[in-house]
Amino acid sequence: NAGVTQTPKFQVLKTGQSMTLQCAQDMNHNSMYWYRQDPGMGLRLIYYSASEGTTDKGEVPNGYNVSRLNKREFSLRLESAAPSQTSVYFCASSEKTHRGAFFGQGTRLTVV
Amino acid sequence: DQQVKQNSPSLSVQEGRISILNCDYTNSMFDYFLWYKKYPAEGPTFLISISSIKDKNEDGRFTVFLNKSAKHLSLHIVPSQPGDSAVYFCAAFPYGGGTSYGKLTFGQGTILTVHP
């Protein structure tokens, strides 16, 4: 039972490059999320998908796009990476329980 | 505008003693609160939660207290163990209205170190 799987685990990009972070969950959850974690800021929501076929902006969506490919997969794309996007990115999924979100292991992204 | 705040960046306690982690919130729409634990190089994992209709929830060594009038919650760990050393995040969301249950507002986190 893998839960939430993110790839890659580490990535270094040059400013202006693009990349896609992949996320898949095997818990049959309807909702999926992308968060970023920065020092002193906690986790902040970038985008979320309440159900297959829908996506909505979170607190910090600028510079990102998302695709809910199917119920299992939710990808995050950086079209033109900037140093300010250096962060640890977490994908998560949830169902209607009191346990909130289940998180992946994270992707550490550095933009130079 | 930080709607959920953890004002103590770090806390150090002795093994066997009580650890108390605090969290304050400003948004009156929040009515469900969670604590997550995070080890280095791992994602956050759910620890315990509390609904606004309660003022206390207990799970083994972990107890969460909620003071709605003060918009304050705390996590008590008794007794503390070295394996509890991690970053603890509090989080909140408005439970009603069909909100996605993982759409959370997080505090900044508190690093707990439990010394043997």
Chain-chain contact of B101 with A93 (C-beta, under 8 angstroms): no
Report which of A62, A66, A36 is spatially closest to residue A52, judged by C-alpha positions. A66
Tens of pLDDT, residues A11-40: 999 999 999 999 999 999 999 999 999 988
In sequence order, the 6+-apart residues with CB closer than 8 A to the CB of A19 are: A11, A13, A77, A78, A81
How many whole angstroms separate alpha carbon A76 and alpha carbon A74?
Answer: 7
Q: Closest Cα of chain A to B78: distance in Å?
A: 22
From chain B, the residues in CB contact with A41 under 8 A are: 108
Nearest to B43 among A45, A98, A103 (CB): A103
Q: Closest Cα of chain A to B16: distance in Å?
A: 27
From chain B, the residues in CB contact with A34 under 8 A are: none
C-alpha distances in Å from residue A80, one per residue of A26, A62, A83: 30, 11, 10
Percent of chain A with pLDDT over 90: 85
CB B110 within 8 A of CB B65: no
Average pLDDT on B34-54 reads 95
Measured between CA atoms, the residue of chain B closest to residue A48 is: B103
Cα-Cα-Cα-Cα dihedral sign, residues A77, A82, A85, A88: positive
Q: Strand ranges (DSSP E) for chain A? A: 4-7, 10-13, 19-25, 31-38, 42-49, 56-57, 64-68, 74-78, 87-94, 101-103, 107-111
How many whole angstroms separate alpha carbon A92 and alpha carbon B91?
Answer: 14
Chain-chain contact of A90 with B106 (C-beta, under 8 angstroms): no
Find tokens 């069909």 and name the residue. Answer: B98
Q: Strand ranges (DSSP E) for B41-103? A: 45-51, 56-59, 62-67, 72-77, 86-93
Nearest to A97 among B91, B101, B105 (CB): B101
Among the residue ranges A31-45, A64-78, A93-107, B80-94, the one predicted with the least confidence is A93-107
Chain-chain contact of A45 with B36 (C-beta, under 8 angstroms): no
Chain-chain contact of A106 with B41 (C-beta, under 8 angstroms): yes
- Determine the pLDDT at residue B101: 76
Sheet holding A19-25, edge to edge: A4-7, A19-25, A74-78, A64-68
Nearest to B100 among A40, A42, A94 (CB): A94
Tens of pLDDT, residues B63-99: 999 999 999 999 999 999 999 999 999 999 886 656 6
Q: How many helices (H) and strands (E) does chain B have?
A: 0, 11
Query: In 10 A of CB B29, how many CB atoms?
Result: 13
Query: Facing residues of B111 across strands?
Result: B10, B87
